[in-house]
Chains A and B, each alone.
Chain A
């Protein structure tokens, strides 16, 4: 039986960008508002899973040619490296600091070193959740 999913494909092509934008917003809204690396990674995983559900694994591998296992390992490496980096300044493990910088477009912006840690968490969440979902779906 043919699965006629023209409506789903057309809607997905628009909705994916909305979900990805929301994921980026959640990622940068951390520290002071609800958000952060973990939930941003989960929402981005939702967008990728929507793409996998609408199309198939072969097409998705062509469009997103990344190995999610390596992405997860790389994210964990970044997270641990930012923690170890605090030893360079002779402070305890995972110490964070922040400063206020005048950026040209955003005005006075708070830049925190925990953003780098959040990047690691973001990639680790994407890699591990996508690995779990894909290895379950390939079992059929």
Chain B
């Protein structure tokens, strides 16, 4: 019973990742693509969580933290690039 629920959750998460992939490729504007990448990152976190419940292991928890940090960094870099044009500025103007 519990296994069935976990497999259904994995299936739904993978469908959600595919929908985000469609938005990433098709997305009319750049903010759509940034949000799609962010959502893919958090869906992958969900997949890893369900997998670690399914496999009865704690070994994937570092993976979850790492994906969280990298998705956060990527989102910040892309949003700053969209808003300002540079990712790392030499000297702040304001």
Contacts and interface: CB of A to CB of B under 8 A. Distances in A.
Partners in one complex: yes
Interface of A: 1-3, 5, 8, 15, 19, 22, 26, 29, 33-35, 39, 43, 46, 49-50, 52-59, 133-134, 137-138, 140
Interface string B60-87: 0011011001101100110010011011
A45 to B, nearest CB: 10
A135 to B, nearest CB: 11
> Main SS of the interface on chain B?
helix
A56 B62 contact: no
A78 B84 CA distance: 40
A39 B70 CA distance: 13
A78 B87 CA distance: 33
Contacts of A8: 76
B84 A22 contact: no
Given A3-B83, A133-B88, 15 more contacts: A3-B94, A5-B80, A22-B65, A33-B62, A34-B62, A46-B69, A50-B76, A52-B88, A53-B77, A53-B87, A56-B88, A56-B89, A57-B91, A134-B88, A138-B90
Contacts of A55: 92
B1 interface: no
14 contacts: A34-B59, A43-B69, A49-B73, A49-B88, A52-B88, A54-B76, A56-B88, A56-B92, A57-B88, A57-B89, A57-B90, A59-B92, A134-B88, A137-B87
